[in-house]
Chain A
Amino acid sequence: EAQVTQNPRYLITVTGKKLTVTCSQNMNHEYMSWYRQDPGLGLRQIYYSMNVEVTDKGDVPEGYKVSRKEKRNFPLILESPSPNQTSLYFCASSPLAGVYNEQFFGPGTRLTVL
């Protein structure tokens, strides 16, 4: 089944404890992206990647890192999480030509930073 998977789905952590949220897609998509969703603010893009080893900042990149060593994986790294990073996170992927095609979203990761 074609899908985008994220792990973990739920995570409660404490300020400053490094964490990684994994994202994997099995559709051979070139483009991958991370979003965060907060009440009243909609979805905001954190980082995106047009291809392996190519990443770029979205609208809210501060406090996050990403890597794209393989086509299928695009992990989101929070080196020192803070409470303002408590949010619902979505990974998405898209075929070649990125946003000119529909994006496929993962199920989301609900992160709470205490």
Chain B
Amino acid sequence: SQQGEEDPQALSIQEGENATMNCSYKTSINNLQWYRQNSGRGLVHLILIRSNEREKHSGRLRVTLDTSKKSSSLLITASRAADTASYFCAPNFGNEKLTFGTGTRLTIIP
């Protein structure tokens, strides 16, 4: 079924380093959203990027979208221990459903 696939599945970095995670999808999208989930809790929306946008920023977060490659990336700069979480991309393919991948588990090492 249609969904985004995050890569890598898991990522561990030192506090202060930048973290990059990627999302790929297979068909055209209307928009793509990124969410964060702290262990066992509800997802929290981070950024929505529309198909006609190439880059978006929010604080230490930077999201890029390349529709020709059908991919998006989420960059977290100057990582903090509180950034430890799972990150999900959710492409919207023009219908009423939002599909999530299995996520990237990010661990920030103090």
Q: Chain A residues in contact with chain B, CB under 8 A?
A: 4, 31, 33, 35, 40-45, 48, 50, 56, 58-59, 88, 90, 92, 98-108, 110
Counted as pairs of residues, one from A and one from B, with CB atoms less than 8 Å apart, the total is 60
Tell me which residues across on chain A come within 8 A of B42, comparing CB atoms. 4, 90, 92, 105-108
Nearest residue (CB) in A for B98 is A99
Say whether B96 contacts A50, CB under 8 Å: yes
A–B Cβ pairs within 8 angstroms, 28 of them: A4-B42, A35-B100, A40-B102, A41-B102, A42-B101, A42-B102, A45-B97, A45-B99, A48-B97, A50-B96, A59-B99, A88-B40, A90-B43, A98-B96, A99-B92, A100-B30, A100-B31, A102-B33, A102-B45, A103-B33, A103-B45, A104-B45, A105-B42, A105-B44, A106-B42, A107-B41, A108-B42, A110-B40
Interface residues of A, dominant DSSP: strand
Does B1 reach chain A (CB closer than 8 Å)? yes
A88 contacts across to B, CB distance below 8 A: 40
Instruction: Decide if B25 is an interface residue (CB 8 Å cutoff).
Output: no
B76 vs chain A, min Cβ distance (A): 18
